[in-house]
Amino acid sequence: MPVWLRGCSWRQSPAALYLSLPLRGLRATPANIFCTERYLKVSIPPYLFEAILYAPIDDTNSTAKIENGIIFFTLYKKEVAMWDSLTLVNASKEELQCIRENAVLKAHEKAKEEAEAKQVTRQKHRKYALEATMKLEEAERRRIEALKEKERQKVTEELELWEKKQKDAEKQKRVQKEEELHQEVEQLKEKKKEKNNETRIPNEGTSKTRLKHTKGHGSCSMFSDNLKEEQLPAPRSAATIEVNFTARVFPTALRESRVAEEEEWLRKQAEARRTLSADLSELEDLKEEEKNPDWLKDKGNKMFATGNYLAAVNAYNLAVQLNNQLPLLYLNRAACHLKLRNLHKAIEDSSKALELLTPPVPDNESARVKAYVRRGTAFCQLELYTEGLQDYEAALKIDPKNKTIEKDAEKIRHLLRGTKQDS
């Protein structure tokens, strides 16, 4: 492999070293550069630049910048001093080889430590997401329990109030019946008094003529009146009449309700029950692996990859019926709807996925970016550019380094400016 020698220049100060390395028309990336405290290497096949530095440098703060076909190195010295040369000159091959091996070994150890630190950070994020989810579920459970308790107290109070009204109504009826019975008894007494007054003898003259007139007729009229009074029927006894009414499905009376709307509501309820029973019967006929949402998600992904978007939507639909709390199902189904131009359904599925991707943590950043982009794409295809731009900007807040999303957002801004100028 050829070695870089020509065109390399360097200068120094007591605190730093500045090195420039021309690329000779090659394309370099940060992956081509390897740097430790005593070892610097730039490998771009077929060329190689390698330097065993004169003294240790601070590889953490040192920088490398690729610009205009040249790599500019800024290497900060660990000790403030002027170097006699860029590289170590009088060292033996064994010493140089030892420095190389130590540099590679330290780089591996540093990479391992960084990987372990990332793993620890990832575990902390997962733990935080789990704790946040548990807190949300606990708060939701408490809210539901509070609502249940409130409704229970409300129903209990209404029941007690209804029982009290029933008791008051029965008591009032009982008092009213007693008053009616008392009035009937008083009326009978008044009638008896009137009849007794009619049968009383007013004076002697009338009594003599009355006795003479009734002589020889068997009995006097006073005895016949008393006999009639004894034959009067007894007063009616008190009783309770129960009236039962047929319960109605709707709370309003028939004359106040809208019959057509009630019949339409009942018809829809019956159709919903039939659909639910049909869905349950379909799920019972599935195979054992087809009852696994993850298996159905993988099947939908394969169908999507082959371009069979309708089959993919069917697989995702069945998976959602089995488990409607997996955000990736809605996210993948939104992608299928975009391909099929079902734009409103794509917006609904993307919104549902964003609702389930809570709380926002680093582990679900990629899924949230996809959800915002897919919903924004659907809005733009519906010519709702303002809503689409809002979703693209929300995706950029999560992933600000994504150049593709940034370019698409800029295109939408141009479209909005052109629309405003036309209007």
Question: pTM for the full model?
Answer: 0.37
Asked whether residue 62 falls in the same domain as residue 126, the answer is no
Segments forming the whole domain that contains residue 160: 122-197
CB 371 within 8 A of CB 355: no
Boundary residue ending a domain (157, 180, 197): 197
Looking at residue 250, what is its pLDDT?
55
Q: How many domains does the chain have?
A: 3
**Which of 30-34, 51-55, 310-314 shows the highest mean pLDDT?**
310-314
Note whether residue 273 is domain-resident: no
Whether residue 16 is contained in a domain is answered as yes
- Among 49-58, 230-239, 242-251, name the one with the lowest average pLDDT: 242-251
Q: How far is CA 318 from CA 283, 292, 338, in A?
A: 9, 10, 19
13's CB contacts (< 8 A; 6+ apart) are none
Last residue of a domain, one of 197, 230, 256: 197
Please check whether residues 412 and 339 belong to one and the same domain.
yes
Residue 331 lies in a domain: yes
For residue 38, give the CATH number of its domain: 2.60.40.790
What sign results for the dihedral spanned by CA atoms 110, 112, 118, 124?
negative
54 and 142 assigned to the same domain: no
Q: Do 27 and 80 share a structural domain? A: yes
One domain for residues 336 and 416:
yes
Q: pLDDT value at position 218?
A: 43
pLDDT digits (tens, 9 = 90+) for 343-402: 999 999 999 999 999 888 888 999 999 999 999 999 999 999 999 999 999 999 999 999
221 lies in a domain? no
Helix (H, G, I), strand (E, B) or coil at 77: strand
Mean pLDDT of 74-94: 84
Dihedral of the alpha carbons of 329, 335, 338, 342, in degrees to the nearest 10:
-10
Would you say 99 and 38 are in contact if contact means Cβ atoms under 8 Å apart? yes
Cα end-to-end distance, the chain, whole Å: 64
**Would you say residue 317 lies in a domain?**
no
Asked if residue 207 is part of any domain, the answer here is: no
What secondary structure, in 3-state letters, does 155-200 show? HHHHHHHHHHHHHHHHHHHHHHHHHHHHHHHHHHHHHHHHHHHHHC
Does 259 fall in a domain? no
Q: Which of 176, 197, 218 is the last residue of a domain?
A: 197
Residue 49: enclosing H or E segment and its boundaries? strand 47-52
Least confident of 11-15, 252-256, 332-336: 252-256
H or E element, residue 48: strand 47-52
Which distant-in-sequence residues (6+ apart) come within 8 Å of 134 by Cβ?
none
Q: Do the domain assignments include residue 365?
A: yes
